[in-house]
Structure 1
């Protein structure tokens, strides 16, 4: 391993240790790494691109389309909504042993690249997977110039 990798490895290890120390009093267990997502983040998202569009996939099981709101403003794509609590009501005869499923309001903000076209956005929700496709502006697509 070269010296640069050792330096960064040590740096990340130290930052992980510091983060876990700060989180421990508030969230026992915390996140496993500064590069890991918080367990309290919902929905989990993947962002990528193709030559024609920026693609956002959000895993949102249990969220109804009418409980979702997608907006775009000043280069920011916002996915907001609410995941309702569908657990049985708790009374004196009911005990909950674990409650890991997220419920409540959520909001994720994704910064879009400059070549995103905010007028051409398509969104679908199927089987708990929200897919948002933001088209790229035509002028920004690579094209080959012919030489005469």
Structure 2
């Protein structure tokens, strides 16, 4: 993985003594980079926008989501094996990125996060003067 985004993950969260720990699926993520930004593509099948939460806290980026399934109208489920997973993935962002300008789009089960690089971190040409 590149030096601007570092993935961290955990399959369980801490729980109180009376509850079992909740299990999460770690969604696969592809990371792309160009001169001005990085883009993360996370596979989140079955997740509606209302069940997707993207949060930045300091230099941590957290993705949390719950998939939803629905059956045919006017039908009652009598036996089911399909599960609605809860997704969770955490990343540590480099200081070269500008988390205040993150853009997020969910389409066809894929979350696209575009994180611009800070102006100071972008490559630039230096004009050399003769003299």
Structure-1-length-normalised TM-score? 0.61
Larger Rg: 1
TM-superposed CA distance for 1:90, in Å, is 4.8
Q: Return the match for 2:84 from 94, 99, 103.
A: 103
**1:40-93 alpha-carbon deviations (Å, 9 max, x no partner):** 7342211232111121101112110111010111211111121124368653xx
Alignment of 1:52 with 2:33, yes or no, is no
> 5 Å matches for 1:1-148?
41-86=25-70, 90-91=77-78, 94=79, 99=81, 103-148=84-129
Question: Where do 5+ consecutive residues of structure 2 fail to align?
Answer: 1-23
1:126 & 1:85 partners in 2: Cα distance?
Answer: 17
Where is the helix percentage greater, Structure 1 or Structure 2? 1
3-state DSSP class of the match of 1:58?
Answer: strand
Structure-2-length-normalised TM-score? 0.68
